Amino acid sequence: MQIVILPTADDVAAYGAELYIKQLTNKPDSVLGLATGSTPLALYRLLIQACQQQRLSFARAKTFNLDEYLGLAGDHPQSYRFFMQQHLFDAIDILPANTAVPDGNATDPFKACQQYEQQITDAGGIDLQLLGLGRNGHIGFNEPSSGLRSRTRVKTLTPATIADNARFFQPGEYQPHLSITMGIGTILDARKVLLLATGANKADAVQAMIEGPLTAACPASALQFHQQAIVVLDEDAAAKL
C-alpha cells in the first residue's frame, strides 16, 4: 500500500486526476472502476476539464461503477447511475454502452450481480479502480463484516451508512436500505486501486485501514493485501496516522 499525504482536498483530486489521465494516455482502452460520493466529485471535474482541453479521451474506455442502491431506477435523482451521468458521463466522450453501473431496478438482483461480475471478466478486468472510504471503513457498499473475498452481491446497509447518506435525500423521501455492490474480492482483482479520502471525519477510518489489523470489521483494510494500492489523503484525513 502506497500512502500519499497532500495538504488539501484539491491536491488530492489533482493527484488522482493525473493518475487517471496517465492511465488513459498509456492505455486508451482502459477499463476503469468508478465511485460515487462527494469525495470523487473534484476529480471528475478535473477529468471533464481535461477532456474539454483535449488532453484526455474516454472514447475507447469502459467503466464499471462500484455500487448502486437497490430499488432505485437509473433515472431516479438519488441513484448512482444518475449521479454518474450528471457528474461525469454526460460531459465526456464516453460511449453510453461502455458505462456500467449495477442495475438497481433489476427484476432478479441476484442474477444481475452474477452478470455484472461476468461483464467485468468479459471486459478483461479492471485496470484502475477508484474508491472513496465510508466513515465506518466501507468501500463500495461493503459494510463492516463483509467477506474479504466477497463478489458482487446484494448488501444491506448499516444504520451508520444510511444516516451518513441521508444528506442526499429529501426529508421524508424513500431511502433504500439495500444495495448492489462489487465485493471486496472483486475490488482486489483490479490491477491498480486508488483510494481517496479527505476531511477530518475520515481520520478514524483511515487509521484503521492503514495501521489497524486486516479485518472484515474494516473492509478497507483488505487493501493492505493489494500490491498496487495507492491511498491519497489530505492532511485532515491523515491526522491520526
| Sites of contact with ligand GLP (CB under 6 A) | 35-39, 66-67, 132-134, 140-141, 161, 165
Write down the catalytic residue from 87, 103, 127, 136. 136
Order of strands across the sheet with 178-181? 67-69, 178-181, 153-156
Q: With respect to ligand GLP, which residue has the nearer C-beta, 104 or 140?
A: 140
What are the Cα distances from residue 132, in Å, to 10, 29, 113, 124?
A: 15, 24, 21, 23
CB of 238 to ligand GLP, least distance (A): 15
Closest-approach residue to ligand GLP (CB): 132
CB of 224 to ligand GLP, least distance (A): 18
Q: With respect to ligand GLP, which residue has the nearer C-beta, 64 or 141?
A: 141
Closest of 176, 70, 63 to residue 120, by C-alpha: 63
In our burial notation (b when 16+ CB lie closer than 10 A, e otherwise), range 196-211 reads: bbbbeebbbbbbbbbe
Closest of 165, 179, 160 to residue 218, by C-alpha: 160
Write down the catalytic residue from 11, 65, 67, 103. 67
Gyration radius of the chain over CA positions:
17
- Is residue 143 part of the annotated active site? The answer reads yes
CB of 178 to ligand GLP, least distance (A): 12
Residue spans of alpha helices (H) in 9-129:
9-26, 41-52, 80-87, 109-122
Write down the catalytic residue from 98, 138, 226, 236. 138
CB of 27 to ligand GLP, least distance (A): 24
Q: With respect to ligand GLP, which residue has the nearer C-beta, 1 or 59?
A: 1
Separation of alpha carbons 71 and 75, rounded Å: 12
- Is residue 67 part of the annotated active site? The answer reads yes
Q: For residues 202 and 131, is the Cβ–Cβ distance under 8 A? A: no
Separation of alpha carbons 6 and 2, rounded Å: 13
CB of 5 to ligand GLP, least distance (A): 18
Write down the catalytic residue from 68, 127, 143, 234. 143
Q: With respect to ligand GLP, which residue has the nearer C-beta, 13 or 112?
A: 13
Q: With respect to ligand GLP, which residue has the nearer C-beta, 11 or 67?
A: 67
What residues act catalytically? 67, 136, 138, 143
